[in-house]
Amino acid sequence: MESMDTSEYAQGQDETHKEILSTLWIIFTKIGKGKDGVERAACNFCSTDFAIGKNPKSGQSYGTSHLSRHVFICKSFQLSLLSLEESSSLTLINQNTHRELLGEAIIAHDLPFSFVEYEKIRVWVKYLNPCVEMASRNTMVSYIEKIYDKERIKLKEIMGRIPNKICLTSDVWTTSTSEGYICLTAHFVDENWKLVSCLLNFLRMKPPHTGIALEATLFDCLKQWGIDKKIFTITLDNASANDNMQDHLKTHLRGQGNLMCDGEFFHIRCSAHVLNLIVQEGLKVASEALHKIRESVKYIKGSDGRMLKFRDCVEDAGINVSGGLRFDVSTRWNSTYLMLESALQYRKAFEFYKVADRSYKYCPSDEEWEKGERICEFLEPFYEITNLISGSSYPTANLYFMQVWKVQCILEKHQKSIDKVIKDMSDNMKKKFDKYWKNYSIVLAFGAILDPRLKDKFLKFCYTTLDASTSEGKLKNVNG
């Protein structure tokens, strides 16, 4: 009888111990091994961590009694219990989960790390739930670095699993304080046949920005990601340093024997950048024709008072369009097109403003406005093509051939224009076109062939339209 009582007592003790353990693992979360190789658990309320396993070096074992003791002295946990007693609507907060979600919000919305220290944000969060302990900016930096490390490992595993090749794009920027940065982006089709574009690296690039230095930086990035044997192409802007860099990188990768066709198609020039260079040549000719329109926009936008007066003129002219006047930027031709397009919509308002402001000396004449309209009409298809080939959420390789063919057709058509400005623009642009695109990219021609809407019949049509005498030879070159 006594033995039975003892057995029942022991069984009751086991059940009590299990209940205590089950409660502890609501309050604590196992976080893996620490630097000493011992398993650890972190408090979900204050993030303090404790050893719970066996030390492989000393052999010392850690139980859970110290976890139980911590429960009674943890202020965050006690505050949570107090809050629950005061209001059953409050929920126990896992501080680790809270901080991870907060870190993801900071990343997603591009918030500063100091966001968590804004006084009114802290007041608002405490109002929602007093149990929440807002982290410091330094703590959030640490959490966000953990999120980055987790995502980096995940991306590296994805790129390691895919059997296909990876294409790269890279660019270098220099800030107003002459600090250089290099960006590397990967483009590939994942296991689910989804097109993926992901930023791999954005690094400070110390001088010199030579081809050799750029190549060393990029190759080191490829090695770190484990994709140096999976590269198909790299797309770059037109710059002598980039040309030099891709030569060195191609030699480096070709030495490993992993470049398709021995690197023949490795270097791709950025189509949007080439088109920018082509149109810039045309705008050099049109600069004088656009002078008064550009100066008019500068004059109006140069003063708040003039902008207010111009708005009155817009109302008086009965103009009802969205968007306002736009400046252009010398390095981006499409900004000139947008400036011209917006100014033409306000043509009548400029004429009203001329009467309202005697200091305004730049109002274009009717002839100059009409010339601006013709230039805008001429530039419109190039603007549409630029937007199309600059897309990142859909494949663009299959679009290259058709768009380059369109550009050539437009230029050759307008080289016969009776408008001298348009003709001169086309002549200048055709010279730049021939420099970069006279010989269509063979590998990008394959993109058109593989598009079921186009196939090789489209290539034959394009080549024949441009020059029937050379079309057969060009097709043979593509077909190998």
Q: Report the DSSP beta bridge partners of residue 198.
A: 186
Token duo for residue 232: 């198909």
- The H or E element that residue 76 is part of is helix 75-86
The predicted structure's pLDDT at residue 353: 93
Q: How many domains does the chain have?
A: 4
- Among candidate residues 86, 114, 130, the one where a domain is terminated: 86
The amino acid sitting at 80 is: S
Does 44 fall in a domain? yes
Report the half-sphere exposure of 362 (CA within 13 A, side-chain side).
14
Position 449 in a domain: no
Environment class of residue 170 by beta-carbon count within 10 Å: exposed (0-12), middle (13-18) or buried (19+)?
buried
Residue 8, SS3?
helix
Phi, psi of 270 (to 5 degrees): -60, 115
| Residue 411 to residue 149: CA distance in whole angstroms | 50
> In the structure encoding, which two tokens stand for residue 46, read together?
């204050």
As given in the structure block, the two tokens for residue 461 are: 């049509």
Q: How many CA atoms lie within 13 A of 247 on its CB side?
A: 9
- Neighbouring CB atoms inside 10 A of 472's CB total 12
Is residue 226 located within the same domain as residue 175?
Answer: yes
356 domain residue, yes or no: yes
Residue 453, token pair as written in the block: 């809407």
CA distance 218 to 159: 17
DSSP string, 337-383: HHHHHHHHHTHHHHHHHHHH-TT---PPPHHHHHHHHHHHHHHHHHH
Which tens digit of pLDDT belongs to each residue from 235-274?
A: 998 878 888 999 999 999 988 888 888 888 898 888 999 9
pLDDT of residue 4: 45
Q: Is 280 found in the same domain as 236?
A: no
Contact 131, 90 (CB under 8 A): yes
- Same domain for 260 and 286, yes or no, is no
Answer yes or no: is 471 within a domain.
no
Instruction: State whether 173 and 213 are in the same domain.
Output: yes
Q: Is residue 455 part of a domain?
A: no
CATH of the domain at 234: 3.30.420
Q: Do residue 203 and residue 349 come from a single domain?
A: no
Co-location of 58 and 100 in the same domain: no
The Cα–Cα gap between 39 and 54 comes to: 7
The C-alpha atoms of residue 76 and residue 44 are separated, in whole angstroms, by 9
Examine the domain organization and report whether 285 and 326 are in the same domain: yes
Position 479 in a domain: no
Question: What tokens does 440 get?
Answer: 């269509």
434 lies in the same domain as 309: yes
User: Domain check: are 136 and 203 in the same one?
Assistant: no
User: What are 143's two structure tokens?
Assistant: 């959490």
Q: Which residues of the chain have pLDDT under 50?
A: 1-4, 6-17
H/E stretch holding 169: strand 166-174
Q: Given this model, what pLDDT does residue 1 score?
A: 41
Contacts of 103 (CB under 8 A, 6+ apart): 140, 143, 144, 146, 147
pLDDT at 90: 52
Q: Please indicate, yes or no, whether residues 317 and 358 belong to a single structural domain of this protein.
A: yes
Distance CA 322, CA 320 (A): 7
In sequence order, the 6+-apart residues with CB closer than 8 A to the CB of 308 are: none
Q: Are residues 252 and 218 in the same domain?
A: yes
Whether residue 158 lies inside any domain: the answer is: no
- Amino acid found at 245: M
For residue 470, tell me if it sits in a domain.
no
At which of 269, 301, 335 does a domain end?
A: 269
Given 227, 244, 269, the domain boundary residue is 269
Residues 81, 101, single domain; the answer is no
- The span from the first CA to the last CA of the chain, in angstroms, equals 96
* All residues at 6 or more sequence positions from 168 whose CB lies less than 8 Å from its CB, including other chains: 184, 185, 186, 187, 231, 233, 234, 235
Contact 159, 227 (CB under 8 A): yes
Contacts of 120 (CB under 8 A, 6+ apart): none
Domain extent, residue 33, equals: 2-86
CA angle 414, 420, 424 (to 5 degrees): 65
DSSP state of 323: S
